[in-house]
Amino acid sequence: MASATPSDFEAQLRPWWDRAQAGDEAAYRHALTLIAGRLRSFLRRRLAQQPDEVEDLVQEVLLSLHLHRGSYDATVPVSAWVQAIARHRLIDHWRRAGLRQHESFDELLEQAVLAEPVDEGAGAHEARRDLSQLLERLPMAQRRAIELTKLLGLNGAEAAEHLGSSEAAIKVQVHRGLKRLAALVGK
């Protein structure tokens, strides 16, 4: 199920969700179960360093979905609606975690930089360690923007929320940071 494409998942979920919205409680239960499974893999990727927190966050998202059922607009895909809410809860989570445990957030980033994907060789590992050193040479604003968007995979709006900035400002910082990185590696 986790490996189904987004449109496959939507095709699977939508009929259950529609019946659930109409009042079919068994359909609602099934829809939430499908969503929970999908959420789990979505969140596991983004909380790689805090696997204990994944299930808590899955439950938080499910609660939000339930609370805001009325905000679902039938003209958008259910999974898009779910993902928007999940992202919001994730940003909330990071905001809280960032305030209380700065180190764990930086660990998360370090892992993202140094993580050795299965198919890459040792060369890629070296490159990523070099990357983290290069990033440290960037001005803070550019570095944070690149870390959040390129390494953690947040989109512009999410990164902007997390940094208390605007999407346009984030784009500028990413652009400048990448230019500076390119200059640093002598391109």
Partner 1 sequence: MRTDELIARLSDGAGAAPPPEEARRLLPALLLGLPAALLLVLALMEPLPVAAVATATPWIKELPALLLGLLAFAWLRRASRPASDSAPLRRAVLGAWGLLVLVGLGSLMGAPVVEWPDRLLGQSWWSCPLLLAGISLPILLLLLLRGRGLPVADARRAGAGMGLLAACLGAMAYALACPESSPAFVALWYSAGLLLSMTLGAWLGARLLRW
Q: Which stretches of the chain bind partner 1, using CB under 8 A?
A: 20-23, 25-26, 28-29, 32-33, 36, 55, 58-59, 62-64, 66, 68-73, 75-77, 80-81, 83-85, 88, 92, 157, 161
> What minimum distance in Å lies between the beta carbon of 67 and partner 1?
8
Give the nearer residue to partner 1 in terms of CB position, either 37 or 125.
Answer: 37
Phi and psi based region of residue 181 (left: phi greater than 0; alpha: psi -120 to 50; beta: remaining): alpha
Smaller CB separation from partner 1, 68 or 137: 68
Write down the least CB distance from residue 109 to partner 1, Å.
Answer: 24
CB of 2 to partner 1, least distance (A): 15
Nearer to partner 1, 147 or 161 (CB): 161
CA Rg, the chain, in Å?
A: 19
Closer residue to partner 1 in complex, CB, 50/112: 50
d(C-alpha 147, C-alpha 3), whole Å: 26
With a CB cutoff of 8 Å and minimum separation 6, the contacts of 141 are: 173
- Give the N- to C-terminal CA distance of the chain in Å, as an integer: 43
Specify burial of residue 156 (Cβ count, 10 A radius: 0-12, 13-18, 19+): middle
